[in-house]
């Protein structure tokens, strides 16, 4: 991070932070880095706090470097990032709820995750007693003639997670959507503090159920980075295999579910059958349909036997045989295309500003995939394309998924072909030191960041940043000017995580 | 599309035979299903899913129940959009403090006779989130629970077993009375 150091010259590097550097800066240095976000030289990767410190991870797309900049020894406040860079807004509102640190100049004084119902305030900071009465939440105003409001949630009509959507509509057209989240806040980062690696991994794998592999993957890589631990080659490849199976299952499920939201249930039936086959093959190969708790610091706990591998090859053949007809069906059904094309457009400029990852970013022209931008093994030797489109509509987000299903099939085959033999797990040694590690992993939804500080084998502080943090706000922008009836389509095509976001 | 539909006609269905009911569930339910309720229900169940704080894993397996392999609607069981139409609330997750009121309200909006199924290990006792400042605990801390289906998440077959036991109890009662 020489460039970051140059921007914040008074800063000092932290010795025990891996693999990317972390620098402790003064307020001027912090503000200077904030300015590089505001003028788009860098992208915000994450922003989190402790009782008296804040940390900001930034990514330089030009030279592909990552750095963390921190303010330590704070006395109750620090200069807000969102004041200059809106994508940080919800992160800072959450940071304030959790630590009690006040982001100076933050344009929104409302709480975010704290609904006034926890047993205490500031769980990650100087804990305080919560006020007796919850303060009512004020939604943003929308003014004009003939506007009406539609409140939706937190309990929704389908089998989905809870969140509240406040629509302001003029007739059928959405004028403003405001999200209110935090309903499934479980206090995962609070539970992490003081936990041993085993329990922390269990919590990480339950941050967002559909990305349980990706979270365990990211957590394990962060812990291994902190401890300087190598894992056996076979484990490296098995991890990628599980991650690709998870991506495949989720994309297949999403393609069907989005079409179903346009009342085209034939796609859901066929894609649902393929998704079920992936889960069954995963169960046969790794002993759990979602492959939960299979990746651990030091390696993996489930080895692939010959029957499991044969099952996966049968799966690949089955999907290759059936999927092209479904893609044709999607592409040639005029009534379906009529709903998808041009609906819920996210303009590329916003996707870039927010650093939106996953299919949301890649359908709006942002060519970012962690497996390519910050490659980790075995992706450095695997061949794959990162599909990019720039229309930014529901249709584009489906096509990114379709292309990624195709890439996923090829990746799984390459992994099966090249899977090295040998042990699958190394022991994690306890050296009793304080060490920090960080990892970014590409989940099916986008880039998952995990940062942690270990004291020996116990977690001192762990932060998990879901890709949804930079996608949820963009859904508010994408829906504007669409009709209320198209919201399910837009929402499902984003498929942001509630649990991963609320933590 | 015509070819796909035609193939569906000539190929054998993917749908699998119903699983055996879960013995543990039958035992738990024996006391839960009262006679008048059985008569009104007959052999169908409308389920309203409520996520009270889950990681979303249980929801994925609940979705799977509707795919062609499990085809839950053949048993007369279906998921409905409103608690007003529901016989069963299927609740997942440790109940978070931020969701407790919504869960309670959903329960109150469901007309009797009604049952609550707590799905997944977290719904039983809060699971690995039990000690958090933001979590109340298992579903029974907020609303009365008639049936627990454990697992993290429980596979579709396990959910189906529990629900079939619920239906069967209801059905038996209807004939007996």
Q: pLDDT digits over A327-366, tens only?
A: 999 999 999 999 999 999 999 999 999 999 999 999 999 9
Question: Which tokens hold the place of A87?
Answer: 């994508």
The first and second tokens of residue A27, run together, are 């307020």
Question: In chain A, pLDDT over 70 holds for what percent of residues?
Answer: 99
**Rounded Cα–Cα distance for residues B26 and A140 (Å):** 50
- pTM score, whole prediction: 0.94
pLDDT reported for residue B31: 52
Strand segments, DSSP code E, in A206-334 are 295-296, 299-300
CATH fold match for the domains A2-129 and A195-201+212-467? no
Residues A310 and A407: their CA atoms lie apart, in Å, by: 20
Give the integer Cα–Cα distance in Å for A14 and A23: 6
pLDDT for residue B171:
62
Q: Is the pLDDT of residue B44 over 80?
A: no
* CATH no. for A195-201+212-467: 1.10.645.10
Q: Which run of H or E residues covers position A88?
A: none
Query: CB–CB of B4 and A270 under 8 A?
Result: yes
Q: How far apart are CA A181 and CA A91, in angstroms?
A: 12
Banded pLDDT at B41 (limits 50, 70, 90): low
ipTM: 0.92
Cβ of B134 within 8 Å of Cβ of A123? The answer is: yes
Sign of the torsion formed by the C-alpha atoms of A253, A259, A263 and A267? negative
Strand boundaries in chain B, DSSP class E: 45-51, 77-79, 88-92, 95-96, 115-119, 135-137, 147-149
Answer yes or no: is pLDDT of A246 > 90: yes
**Local confidence band at B42 (pLDDT 50, 70, 90 cut-offs):** low
pLDDT of residue A135: 81
Give chain B positions within 8 Å (CB) of A203: 128-129
User: A209 and B93 in contact by Cβ < 8 A?
Assistant: no
- Within 10 A of A40 (CB to CB), how many other CB atoms are there? 12
Q: What is the 8-class DSSP label of residue A128?
A: B
pLDDT at A62: 87
Q: Is B57 helix (H, G, I), strand (E, B) or coil?
A: helix
**A119 contacts B51? CB cut-off 8 A:** no
Residue that is written with structure tokens 């015509």 in the block: B2
pLDDT 10s digits, A143-157: 888 899 999 989 988
The 10s digit of each residue's pLDDT in A20-46 is 999 999 999 999 999 999 999 999 999
For residue B35, pLDDT beyond 60: no
> Inter-chain contact B56–A162, Cβ cutoff 8 Å?
no
What average pLDDT does this structure show over B157-170?
82
Name the closest residue on chain A to residue B99, using Cα atoms.
Answer: A183
pLDDT band (50, 70, 90) for residue B8:
confident
Segment A265-295, tens digit of pLDDT: 999 999 999 999 999 999 999 999 999 999 9
What is the reported pLDDT for A419? 96
Task: List B148's β-bridge partners, or say none.
Answer: B118
**Beta strands per DSSP E along A283-390:** 295-296, 299-300
Residues of B in contact with A283 (CB under 8 A): 155
Q: In the predicted model, what is the mean pLDDT of residues A96-103?
A: 96
pLDDT in the model for residue A222: 96
Is the pLDDT confidence value at A177 over 70? yes
pLDDT score, position B22: 67
Q: Which stretch of A13-22, A393-402, B51-60 has the lowest confidence by average pLDDT?
A: A13-22
pLDDT at A27 (0 to 100): 93
Candidates A130, A184, A502, partner chain B, best to mutate (most B CBs within 10 A): A184
Task: Tell me the nearest-neighbour CA distance from B55 into chain A, angstroms.
Answer: 5
Closest chain A residue to B121 measured between Cα atoms?
A: A206
Chain B residues with beta carbon closer than 8 angstroms to that of A158:
49, 79, 81
Buried b (16+ CB within 10 A) or exposed e, B113-123: ebbbbbbbbbb
Whether the Cβ atoms of residue A34 and residue A79 lie closer than 8 Å to each other: yes
pLDDT category, B36, cuts 50, 70, 90? very low
Q: Which of A159, A199, A273 sits opposite B62 (nearest CB)?
A: A159
**Around A352, how many Cα atoms within 13 Å sit in the side-chain half-sphere?**
14
Sign of the CA dihedral running A177, A180, A184, A190: positive
Average pLDDT, chain A: 94
Q: Which residues of A touch B93 (CB under 8 A)?
A: 184
CB contact under 8 A, A118 and B133: yes
- How far is A83 from A325, CA to CA, in rounded Å? 49
Residue B25, pLDDT score: 64
Q: Quick check: A463 and A452 in contact, CB under 8 A?
A: yes
Q: Domain spans of chain A?
A: 2-129, 195-201+212-467
Hey, of A120, A154, A186, A330, which one would you mutate to test binding to chain B, going by the most B CBs within 10 A of its CB? A186
- Nearest-CA neighbor of A193 among A486, A455, A492, A479? A455
User: B14–A279: do the CB atoms touch at under 8 Å?
Assistant: no
List the B45-51 sheet strands across, edge first: B77-79, B45-51, B88-92, B115-119, B147-149
- And the tokens for A306? 């010959």
Percent of the residues in chain A that have a pLDDT greater than 90, as a whole number: 89
Report pLDDT digits (tens) over A405-454: 999 999 999 999 999 999 999 988 877 889 999 999 999 999 999 999 99
Class of domain A2-129: alpha beta
Per-residue pLDDT tens for B90-147? 999 999 999 999 999 999 999 988 899 999 999 999 999 999 999 999 999 999 998 9
A490 and A392 Cβ atoms separated by less than 8 Å: no
Strands (E), A322-468: 434-442, 447-455, 458-465
Give the per-residue pLDDT at B168: 73
The nearest CA of chain A is from the CA of B175 a distance in Å of 32
Residues in chain B: 177
Asked if residue A389 has pLDDT above 80, the reply is yes
Question: What mean pLDDT, rounded, does chain B reach?
Answer: 85
Cα A126 to Cα A137: distance, rounded to the nearest angstrom: 24
Q: CA-to-CA distance for B40 and B112, rounded, in angstroms?
A: 10
- Give the pLDDT score at A376: 95
| pLDDT at residue B172 is higher than 80 | no
In a 3-state reduction of DSSP, which class is residue A62?
Answer: coil
């Amino acid at each position: 991070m020489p460039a970051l150091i140059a921007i914040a010259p008074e800063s000092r590097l932290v010795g025990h932070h891996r693999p990317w550097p972390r620098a402790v800066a003064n307020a001027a240095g912090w503000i200077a880095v904030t300015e590089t976000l505001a003028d788009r030289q860098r992208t915000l990767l994450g922003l989190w706090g402790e009782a008296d410190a804040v940390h900001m991870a930034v990514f330089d797309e030009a030279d592909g470097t990552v750095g963390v900049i921190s303010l330590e020894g704070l006395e109750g406040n620090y200069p807000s990032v969102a004041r200059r860079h809106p994508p940080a807004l919800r992160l800072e509102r959450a940071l304030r709820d959790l630590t009690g640190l006040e982001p100076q100049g933050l344009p929104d004084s409302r709480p975010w995750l704290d609904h006034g119902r926890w047993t205490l305030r500031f769980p990650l900071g100087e804990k305080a007693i919560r006020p007796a009465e919850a303060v009512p939440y004020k939604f943003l105003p929308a003014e004009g003639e003939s506007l009406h409001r539609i409140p939706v949630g937190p309990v929704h009509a389908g089998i989905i997670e809870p969140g509240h959507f406040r629509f302001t509509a003029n007739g059928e057209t959405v004028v403003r959507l405001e999200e209110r989240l935090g309903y499934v806040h479980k206090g995962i980062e609070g539970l992490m503090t003081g936990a041993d690696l085993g329990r922390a991994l269990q919590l990480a794998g339950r941050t967002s159920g559909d990305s349980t592999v990706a979270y365990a993957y990211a957590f394990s890589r962060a812990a291994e980075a902190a401890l300087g631990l190598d894992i056996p080659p076979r484990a490296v490849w098995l991890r990628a295999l599980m991650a690709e199976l998870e991506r495949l299952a989720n994309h297949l499920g999403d393609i069907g579910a989005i079409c179903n939201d346009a009342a085209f249930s034939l796609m859901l039936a066929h894609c649902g059958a393929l998704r079920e086959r992936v889960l069954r093959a995963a169960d046969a190969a790794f002993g759990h349909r979602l492959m939960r708790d299979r990746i651990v610091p030091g390696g993996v706990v489930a080895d692939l036997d010959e029957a499991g591998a044969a099952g996966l090859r049968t799966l690949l053949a089955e999907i290759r045989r059936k999927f092209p007809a479904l893609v044709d069906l999607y592409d040639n059904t005029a009534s379906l295309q009529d709903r998808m094309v041009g609906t819920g457009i996210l303009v590329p400029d916003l996707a870039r500003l927010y650093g939106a990852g996953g299919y949301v970013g890649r359908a709006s022209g942002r060519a970012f995939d962690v497996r390519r931008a910050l490659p980790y093994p075995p992706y450095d030797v695997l061949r794959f394309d990162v599909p990019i489109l720039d229309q930014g509509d529901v249709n584009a987000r489906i096509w990114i998924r379709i292309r990624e299903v195709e890439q996923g099939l090829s990746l799984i085959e390459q992994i099966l072909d090249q899977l090295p033999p040998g042990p699958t797990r190394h022991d994690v040694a306890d050296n009793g030191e304080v060490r920090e590690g960080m990892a970014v992993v590409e989940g099916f939804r986008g880039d998952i960041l995990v940062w942690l500080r270990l004291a020996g084998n116990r977690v001192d502080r762990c932060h998990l940043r879901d890709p949804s943090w930079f996608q949820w706000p963009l859904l508010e922008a994408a829906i504007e000017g669409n009709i209320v009836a198209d919201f399910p389509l837009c929402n499902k095509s984003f498929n942001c995580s509630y649990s991963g976001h609320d933590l | 599309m015509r070819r796909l539909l035609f193939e569906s006609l000539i190929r054998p269905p993917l749908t699998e035979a119903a699983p055996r009911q879960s013995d543990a569930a039958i035992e738990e339910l024996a006391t839960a299903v009262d006679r008048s309720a059985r008569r009104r229900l007959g052999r169908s169940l409308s389920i309203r899913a409520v996520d009270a704080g889950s990681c979303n894993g249980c929801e994925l397996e609940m979705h799977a129940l509707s795919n062609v392999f499990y085809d839950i609607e053949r048993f007369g069981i279906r998921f409905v959009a409103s608690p007003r139409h529901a016989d069963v609330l299927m609740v997942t997750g440790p109940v978070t403090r931020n969701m407790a009121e919504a869960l309670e309200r959903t329960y109150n909006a469901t007309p009797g006779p009604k049952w609550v199924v707590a799905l997944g290990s977290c719904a039983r006792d809060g699971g690995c989130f039990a000690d958090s400042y933001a979590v109340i605990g298992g579903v029974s801390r907020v609303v009365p629970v008639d049936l627990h289906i454990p697992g993290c998440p429980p596979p579709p077959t396990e959910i189906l077993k529990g629900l079939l036991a619920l239906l069967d109890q209801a059905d038996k009662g209807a004939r007996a009375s």
